[in-house]
Structure 1
């Protein structure tokens, strides 16, 4: 059996030991999304140079997803932001139809997002 969290001033302290676990989890989600936005923007030119035949629509889709990721990073206080981040990962995987490397990036960042969700569930319950 586990012991309940010790009480401080009548309120239970978080089990994680963090002073503000919600802010920590928001920071993890925001950091993941910012990193994704940067990688997406940096991936455009190598895909084009390496014979990737990424069309104007493909470049536009990648830039749009990067902007969406950056916007979501700033909105992590909203309840729907985590679900929107999941949709973003699915859209990135779907962009694999434009170029296979985008699907690979989608799988990598989808796994990172799933891990961030696991950490969120573990810390916040």
Structure 2
């Protein structure tokens, strides 16, 4: 399988909504992802197998030194082959090129080996308020 990665790549909302539904559960939504990420994000990374969107990560930021990973997802048929780590690596390159100094991520405990071992994140103390 040949995978192509694109920083700020073009995608259609239906493909990303379907990928999100598969990755996070539930039926495909009708989120206007394209407009949302263009308006609010530093960038995003798309992973393509041919014409199929098989991975995505959104890179939000504070306009300065801090970038934040959101919505990391890989198609279930493609998991375990390094696509997720390559998405994160491409996102880190994009954030670094934008002069960000820090890349943050939060995740469920079950994803700890992926983010720490496969992607190189270091543990930190953080806080969260459920709204």
| Same-fold call, TM cutoff 0.5 | no
Instruction: Indicate the TM-score class for this superposition, using the shorter chain for normalisation.
Output: 0.3 to 0.5
Q: Please, what TM-score do these two structures have when normalized by structure 2?
A: 0.32
Greater share of helix residues, 1 or 2?
A: 1
